[in-house]
Amino acid sequence: MNIVQVFIYRADVHIIPKPANPAQLVHYPAGTPTLLQALSLVRSELFTVACKPIQEVIQRRIKQQSPSHFTHCYIPVKVAHLLQHNKQLIAAAVHCLCDRDQIDIKACRKMRVFPVEQCVMSGVTFTRRLYAQLLREQFQPPRSAGFHHYGNSVAHDLGIKLTCGFEILMSSFNTKVWNCQCDSNWNHFIASLKDKGYFQGELEGSKLHKDLTEKAKQFYTKAVLQDSCGTRWIYANEAHRIMTEIPLDEHQLEQHLPPADDDKWLEITPEQLDQMIEQVQGIKLAKKVGLDSVVDGMTSFIDHVSSYEGVEFPR
């Protein structure tokens, strides 16, 4: 099947069929459709949605390959604001909490960036790995952080950990403010761009020169500083950008939350683990050759007498 005959549209898989009879030639092209023809068919009223069994198989494979977990977290409105505009920040916050040291804990004593007085129950989507990592992480926030009014529910526990993770993340921004004038590597980088004609002969201070310089800074901070300062610094700057450039609308954060996903998938028996390994690797553990038979076969082979014609496998 040609790639322009299969599409995903509005969360469903669409397959453009080949005409089964002359009457269908009115709606479907006889040969391989062009991209524009295919898009028009998928968006039209004609039936191109794949049948239910195909949809179910694909959805099942998607859940297996990229599992996610939706849950509720009681978090400050500023944290909810960040996740509303960049969901990728959640991974950085989880890693900051789980990789914390004593210096990071000091950032959580006052909660200067994310005060916990004004919080909201928010829906958060984790990858299963991040959810399990955050849920099982043993963490007790400093008493001065102000979480005494939090309850003992999973939503409150996750909210405490996630909020402290973001506070640690933002401490990276406060302590690592990049100044291009003091960075010798940046000066060498700009000099190299000038030698290669990057600025197209524009005078320094012109509009085009400023635009090109800004693009060079964006590339440098993402590609170069990431290696020296780590991804934490990059995500901290992105979080700071959102908080300073995008106004916080508390009314948009108030939402009717759907039920949280069941997390029973965290609890598996040894038998279920063996079954999962069999499904992934395509092997039957119960039918594997035993270790004893492997050892016996190797011993028999070593003890077998060889001749000038070589070694024959024992029968």
Mean pLDDT of 76-101: 92
Lowest mean pLDDT of 10-19, 85-94, 144-153, 278-287, name the range: 278-287
Diameter of the chain measured on Cα atoms: 88
CB-based burial label for 189 (10 Å; 0-12, 13-18, 19+): middle
pLDDT the model gives residue 177: 52
Residues 181-204: pLDDT tens digits?
666 778 888 888 888 888 888 888
Q: Is residue 228 predicted with pLDDT exceeding 50? A: no
pLDDT the model gives residue 222: 62
Q: Is residue 274 predicted with pLDDT exceeding 60? A: yes
Alpha-carbon span 167 to 114, nearest angstrom = 7
pLDDT the model gives residue 178: 58
pLDDT the model gives residue 162: 96
Q: Is residue 286 predicted with pLDDT exceeding 50? A: no
Q: Is residue 157 predicted with pLDDT exceeding 90? A: yes
Q: Is residue 230 predicted with pLDDT exceeding 80? A: no
Q: Which own/partner pairs from 271-275 qualify as long-range (CB within 8 Å, at least 24 positions apart)?
A: none
Mean pLDDT of 116-139: 93
pLDDT the model gives residue 12: 84
Mean pLDDT of 119-134: 93
Q: Is residue 285 predicted with pLDDT exceeding 50? A: no
The torsion angles phi and psi of 45, rounded to 5 degrees, stand at -80, -5
Give the CA distances from residue 78 to residues 150, 178, 246, 286, in Å, rounded to whole numbers and listed in that order: 17, 24, 11, 52
pLDDT the model gives residue 308: 54
Mean pLDDT of 277-288: 61
pLDDT the model gives residue 15: 86
Alpha-carbon span 105 to 118, nearest angstrom = 22
Q: Is residue 249 predicted with pLDDT exceeding 90? A: no
Q: Is residue 124 predicted with pLDDT exceeding 80? A: yes
* pLDDT tier for residue 216 given thresholds of 50, 70 and 90: confident
Calculate what percentage of the chain has a pLDDT beyond 70: 78
What is the pTM (predicted TM-score) of this model? 0.56
Alpha-carbon span 53 to 51, nearest angstrom = 6
* pLDDT tier for residue 60 given thresholds of 50, 70 and 90: confident
